[in-house]
Structure 1
Amino acid sequence: MKKCFPLMRLICALLVIAAPGAGVQAADPAPVPAMKARLAAKVALTGLVRAGDALVATGAYGTVVRSTDNGQTWQQAEVPVSTLLTALHFVDAERGWAVGHGGVVLATTDGGVKWTLQQQLADKPVLLSVHFVSAEKGFAVGAYGSAWRTVDGGRNWSPMVVGSGRDTDMHLNHIFATRNGVLFATAEFGLAFRSADGGDSWHPLTTGVSGSLWNGLEGANGEIVLLGMSGRVLVSANGGDSFQVFEHDSGQSLSAAVVDANGGLIVVGSGGLVLRGRERFATEIRADRQNLAAVALAADGGLIVAGQLGVERVGGGN
């Protein structure tokens, strides 16, 4: 039994730690919808994505907020649960999924305006990440090696096994796919896994680090980028066979990234950290020092960040 687990998906380094030996207590979905709040965009938010030209963010208390004006204003969506929603993913401007504590899987077919409770997975796992490669085929991962896949748009889910031996008990923090369909999952203790067969088999990668890897994405030129503790950016130019590690001297955990218009990365992390660049990164520390969990680019190129203090537009744009 692990002695601790971040019950709330990384709002960068903002962690809620379970007591030693206590394990994970996955919160049940509330029997009532998420409460409407005047300042819903200012609650702690952990997920943020583009859905067509709109922006959608998820977070605490079942909060989902949506913007259709490039992050200038936000409207709260209709959500049937009030549990923490940790992550979301859209396959197009209309169809998306969100996951969270209690094994909840929500779905939307109108760009995030209204959500339905599509599934509550067996044993109610803490889900931390979701990714769909098509409108039918998707994947979700979470605490203690919880890994699931669907081939019918989320109506039914079956368990997967990621890793082998003791690795199957590691917290899986994030899952994503490359443009050619190869899956990657990031985990604790520097572990990352790759699947080239749709999740049937997973192979461990040699990352060269030992700290948790919180996130990952495919770069502009097909490189695999993983983000982790202590300011580490891992980059692979050969599909994950090997990684070059770039360490940032801030030492802050890195939680999410997006590819910018020039093919570089914008990376966010704890303590208000924002990095821009490729192998070398320009550093910005936000005055509010809030822990940032997610980042996206608006349709007009504006930079949007989400985290401990909600979601906001922080600059840029046409």
Structure 2
Amino acid sequence: MTIKRKLLALCAALAAAGATTVSLHAAGSASSAGPVPAMKARLAARVPVTGMARAGDALVAVGDYGTVVRSTDNGKSWQQAEVPVSSLLTAVHFADAQRGWAVGHGGVVLATTDGGANWTLQQVLDDKPVLLSVYFASAERGYAVGAYGTAWRTEDGGQSWEPMSVGQGRDADLHLNHIFATRQGALYVAAETGLAFRSTDGGDSWTALKPGVSGSLWGGLEAGDDVVLLGMSGRVLASRDGGDSWRAVSGDTEQSLTGAVSTADGKLLVVGAGGVMLRGDASGLNAEVRGDRQNLAAVVLAADGSVVIGGQLGVERLSASTTTSH
């Protein structure tokens, strides 16, 4: 089971416990006792990671226990950031080198203005079991999505949020696993049951896309001229017409795929469960499997071009000896 699948299982448990209504309030009123800050850990870089992002030339990874770690030397060393919550953080995104946001369980929205070294609890979206993804198109306009159709947007840098309706009808309660955008500004959401969604008007309206698979889609990105989606059973799907039609990309794996990064020339590096790593492009991918077989959740390119991965064993800068051919 991948890290993200574990998150969704936790969502179901919370829903069964009665989390059924939604409201939005300022972070300061999250509870009478206030949030509990993340504990300082001697081996913070080994805490399970669920998301990573570039912040200028720095790297930032988020994960369990409210842990955030940051590297300013391309992943060679990591320092733990100051974080005001100890709940599971699931995703992070930066609008520029200084301003970034992270989201997680309990509708937590964190913000930073110093490249991820220090974080504040900006907002809490009540009664939503978990936020799974965050994307900011600019320092003002941002989006957060998550379990059971959770979708919010902000026009003021996260000071206030309003709900969005992504899925309609029976699709309204689908888990929205990942939100991303293309260079032209179109928004895409990878969702469960093999569905994805597209908006070309900043989230005002959404079109359901059907790539032709049944399993959950965990992530996506733009790679060269293609929009690419990743999912269960090793699914990699690519579209060159904005999502109106899709083609399957061979990857020689049945493991769930959870994260990917694209290089400037459109090459892809995809990671997933069981230590699987796929390298190639949207016409075909070659599979490798790490010796530790750890579940990988995220991958990012450092400023010097090196690859950094994050997963159940924390963060790691790759070298040629860390993978073996499958």
TM-score (norm 1): 0.91
Q: Which residue of 1 aligns with 2:266?
A: 263
Identical positions, percent: 66
Alignment of 1:1-318 (within 5 A): 10-11=2-3, 17=9, 23=15, 31-221=35-225, 223-278=226-281, 279-315=283-319
Contact 2:55-2:97 at 8 Å conserved across structures: yes
C-alpha RMSD of matched pairs (Å)? 2.0
Rate the CA distance shift 1:20–1:213 in 2: closer, same or farther, 3 A. closer
Report the AA paired with residue 254 of structure 1. L
3-state SS of paired residue (1:23): helix
Identify, as 1 or 2, the structure richer in helix.
2
Contact 1:13-1:253 at 8 Å conserved across structures: no
Q: Distance in 1 between the 2:7 and 2:111 partners?
A: 27
3-state SS of paired residue (2:84): coil
3-state SS of paired residue (2:241): coil
Q: Distance in 2 between the 1:133 and 1:262 partners?
A: 22
Rate the CA distance shift 1:299–1:103 in 2: closer, same or farther, 3 A. same
Contact 1:191-1:213 at 8 Å conserved across structures: yes
Q: Distance in 2 between the 1:228 and 1:204 partners?
A: 17
Contact 1:219-1:259 at 8 Å conserved across structures: yes
Q: CA deviation at 1:282?
A: 1.8
Q: CA deviation at 1:284?
A: 1.1
Report the AA paired with residue 84 of structure 1. L
Larger mean Cα displacement after TM superposition, 252-261 or 65-74: 252-261
Q: Distance in 2 between the 1:105 and 1:225 partners?
A: 27
Q: Distance in 1 between the 2:15 and 2:126 partners?
A: 17
Gaps of 5+ in 2: 20-29, 321-326
Gaps of 5+ in 1: 1-5
TM-score (norm 2): 0.89
Contact 2:251-2:287 at 8 Å conserved across structures: no
Alignment length (residue pairs): 306
Contact 1:13-1:291 at 8 Å conserved across structures: no
Report the AA paired with residue 98 of structure 2. E
Rate the CA distance shift 1:159–1:125 in 2: closer, same or farther, 3 A. farther
